[in-house]
Amino acid sequence: MLYERVFKPLLLRMDPERAHETVTTALKLAQEIPGAPAVFDRYAAKPEPRLSVKAFGLKFPNPIGLAAGFDKNCRMSRVLPALGFGFLELGSVTLRPQKGNVRPRVFRLPEQSAVINRQGFPGAGARACAARLARAGKSPVPVGINIGLNADCPPERAPQEYAQTFKILEPYGDYFVVNVSSPNTEGLRELQERRKLEKILEAVRAENKAGKPVLIKISPDVSDAGLFALVETAKSQAAGIVAGNTTVSRPGVPASAGDVRGGLSGKPLRALSTNLVRKIFRLSGGAVPVVAAGGVFTGGDALEKIRAGACLVQLYTGLVYRGPGAPRAIARELAELLAQNGFAGVSSAVGTGA
Ligand SMILES: Cc1cc2nc3c(=O)[nH]c(=O)nc-3n(C[C@H](O)[C@H](O)[C@H](O)COP(=O)(O)O)c2cc1C
């Protein structure tokens, strides 16, 4: 295939962030060609009986979504659905523009099919993202917007800043995610503490006039006690949990390759995030919708997450290594596996391996 033979070797030779910028620029330009979004829409995933999912009041044509971080600046919302994604999660978007950490800050571990990143939410800020989404028009698949926090936000202002960011972006997202789990913004993961998170969710709820689903994104590094509290908070105050973010641990990564500060994603994260999904499903008795992310490369990986309790699945690193054909291929593989295993649809498989 053209991607495997030509583009992948070229992109993998470039600095990871430069490669990502090159891809983003190409896709953004494609999206801006007059009339192009309507053409891309024709390639977007259509609901199929075996793959369609209903979750937190939304309908998804398939459960394979784009994880946050790939389209941080909301530039590709009308072109990415053409890759076959069942939904997109854009962001993380912060209230004010910021540069993020110094480069280099994204590192590939090709032998492990992994990435370590410490980007620290570089981005154009909420107003610029809202303007882009207004210009782009409605995506043919559900769009989530993931909200982060500026590095200079004092902890006590976190509730207001999440709420303000939500307010600016509210018209453009079908669902929202409060990200309290990126390891690259100092103090962010401490916002997973129960009282702090409740205050954030209360502040966001005060701005949520249309009652859009608001989920929380958590870290696979939380303690069992911390997870119990997060699940309790989610049960009463959130529409679901995105499980999860990158890990600061280094499972299955040789010390020489793992000796880089940042969050690890990709294959080595797979089992850790599946276990997180399973724990949430058990703790909540299946009452909290779970969006799983971490090491999804194949339909088998997606089914593993679904059987552990996820109703939706996302990928980022799998897209880096498997290429633009990944979402469509994973959805097709999942449909085949569901059929082979006697599942009529995704929902009948959720939690069957928990
Ligand atoms: C380069 C990079 C940047 C990321 N940026 C964000 C981000 O801004 N917000 C967020 O919630 N997650 C971010 N993530 C985490 C992913 O959304 C996802 O949770 C994690 O990578 C696990 O999925 P994967 O193994 O399929 O990559 C990022 C991941 C990578 C690799």
Q: What is the pLDDT of residues 27-71, one digit of tens each?
A: 999 999 999 999 999 999 999 999 999 999 999 999 999 999 999
Phi first, then psi: give them for residue 215, nearest 5 degrees: -105, 170
The radius of gyration computed from the CA coordinates of the chain, to the nearest angstrom, equals 19
Which region holds residue 216: left if phi is over 0, alpha if psi is between -120 and 50, else beta? beta
Ligand 1 mean position to 266 CA, how many Å? Answer: 9
Q: Whose CA is nearest to atom 1 of ligand 1?
A: 117
User: What number does the ligand 1 atom closest to the CA of 68 have?
Assistant: 17
Contact 181, 219 (CB under 8 A): yes
Q: Which of 75, 85, 316 to mutate to test the pocket of ligand 1 (most atoms within 8 A of CB)?
A: 316
pLDDT classification of 84: cutoffs 50, 70, 90: very high
Which tens digit of pLDDT belongs to each residue from 316-334?
A: 999 999 999 999 999 999 9
Q: Which atom of ligand 1 sits closest to the CA of residue 297?
A: 26
* Mean pLDDT confidence for 242-257: 96
Cα–Cα dist 353/348, whole Å: 11
User: What is the reported pTM?
Assistant: 0.98
Residue owning the nearest CA to atom 22 of ligand 1: 294
Provide the 8-state DSSP code for 67: P
- pLDDT at residue 160, rounded to an integer: 98
User: For 163-206, what is each residue's pLDDT tens digit?
Assistant: 999 999 999 999 999 999 999 999 999 998 999 999 999 999 99
- Give the three-class secondary structure for 84: coil
Quote the pLDDT of residue 96.
98
Task: List, for residues 201-237, the tens digit of each pLDDT value.
Answer: 999 999 999 999 999 999 999 999 999 999 999 999 9
Give 108-141 pLDDT, tens digit per residue.
Answer: 999 999 999 999 999 999 999 999 999 999 999 9
What is the Cα–Cα distance from 147 to 28, expressed in whole angstroms?
21
Q: Measured from the CA of 20, which atom of ligand 1 is nearest?
A: 1
Q: Who lines ligand 1 at CB under 6 A? A: 67-69, 72, 92, 106, 115, 117, 119, 121, 146, 179, 182, 217, 245-246, 265-266, 269, 293-296, 315-318
What's residue 134's pLDDT?
Answer: 98
The reported pLDDT for the residue numbered 258 is: 86
Full set of structural domains in the chain with CATH: 2-349 (3.20.20.70)
Q: Contact at 8 Å (CB) between 207 and 176? A: no
Nearest-10 Cα torsion for 110, 182, 53, 231: 130
34 CA to centre of ligand 1 in angstroms:
31
Alpha-carbon separation of residue 308 from 41, 56, 166, 303, 353 (angstroms): 32, 18, 30, 8, 5
Catalytic positions: 182
- Which atom of ligand 1 lies nearest, measured to the CA of 115? 31
Instruction: Give the pairing of strands 290-293 and 240-243.
Output: parallel
- Distance separating alpha carbons of residues 240 and 216, to the nearest angstrom: 7
- Give the chain's length: 354
Q: What is the mean pLDDT of the chain?
A: 97
